[in-house]
Amino acid sequence: MTNIKPEDLNYHYYSTEQYDRDIVSTIPGYKVLHNEIARIAKNLPPNPRILELGVGTGNTTLAIAQNTKNPNFTLVDFSEKMLNGAKHKLDKLNCKYLLEDYSAIELPQKHDAVICVIGFHHQESDKNKKTMILKIYNSLKRGGLFILGDLMTYDNKEFAAINEAKHYHFLVENAEGEEMLKEWAYHHKYLNSLASKESHIKWMNDVGFSTEVIFEKFNTVLILGKKI
C-alpha cells in the first residue's frame, strides 16, 4: 500500500523537462546512481524481460536500455502525466505501459530484472515495504536482479541525523528561491516515508535475495539484490 496518491506528488503539473531538471537537484547522487545502474545492466542477458515500478519520465529505463541488448520492458506508474512523459521519451523501445498503483496489482512474472528507483519510499510502512519485496522476489526468474535505488535512512541515529541534514543542505543549495525550497523540503519531510538501509537489506535477505550495496550518498542508496 502506498502512502500518497499521485496528485499529492504534484507530478500532474510537472512537465517532463522540469521533472528531469528538478530530480537531479533534489536527489543527491542521482547521476552517479544512474551510471551504476547502467553498469549493472550490462550484466543482463540478451532480450531481458524487465519490470520497472514507478517509471517516472523514463530516465532509469533509458539508462538500462542503452546498456542491454533488445530489452523488453513492462513499465508501471500511477501518474498519467509521468507515464506520458515516459511514452514520449521511450518511443523507440519495446515497452508495455501500465497506469496502475504497483502495490495494488499482481505483478507479472518471470523477469530478468525488476527496477524500482526513487519511488519505493512511498510504500507506507515497514509491513508494506516487506510485502512489496516478496512480490518483487516472486516476479523474478531465479538469478534475476532487483535493482533498488531509493531514499533510505540508517539504523545508527547519529549517522541517520547527519545524512538527513546533508540531504536538506543539498536541497537548500540547489533550490532556486524560497517557493521551490518549500515544496522540496515539504515533500522530503512529509511525503517521503524512509526506512533504514539495514532494514531493506534484512527484508531482502529474509525473502531470499543476496544483497550488495553499490552506492550511497546521504539518503540515496543503491542496493542490488539477486534472487538465489
Where does this chain bind ligand SAM (CB under 6 A)? 2, 6, 9, 11, 23, 54, 56, 59-60, 76-79, 82, 101-103, 117-119, 122
CB of 102 to ligand SAM, least distance (A): 4
The percent of the chain in helix, strand and coil, each rounded to the nearest 5, is 50, 25, 25
Beta carbon nearer to ligand SAM, 159 or 186: 186
C-alpha 88/C-alpha 76 separation (Å) is: 15
**Chain CA centroid to CA 142, Å:** 22
Closest by alpha carbon to 147, among 48, 69, 81? 48
Beta carbon nearer to ligand SAM, 6 or 144: 6
Kind and range of the H or E element at 52? Answer: strand 49-53
CB of 142 to ligand SAM, least distance (A): 25
SS (H, E, C) 69-118: CCCEEEEEECCHHHHHHHHHHCCCCEEEEEECCHHHCCCCCCEEEEEEEC
Contact 133, 212 (CB under 8 A): no
CB of 75 to ligand SAM, least distance (A): 10
Q: Which three cell numbers stand for residue 78?
A: 500511477
Beta carbon nearer to ligand SAM, 4 or 205: 4
Beta carbon nearer to ligand SAM, 135 or 141: 135
CB of 125 to ligand SAM, least distance (A): 13
Beta carbon nearer to ligand SAM, 60 or 219: 60
CB of 79 to ligand SAM, least distance (A): 4
Beta carbon nearer to ligand SAM, 8 or 155: 8
C-alpha 80/C-alpha 156 separation (Å) is: 38
CB of 158 to ligand SAM, least distance (A): 28
Closest by alpha carbon to 6, among 81, 76, 61, 57? 81
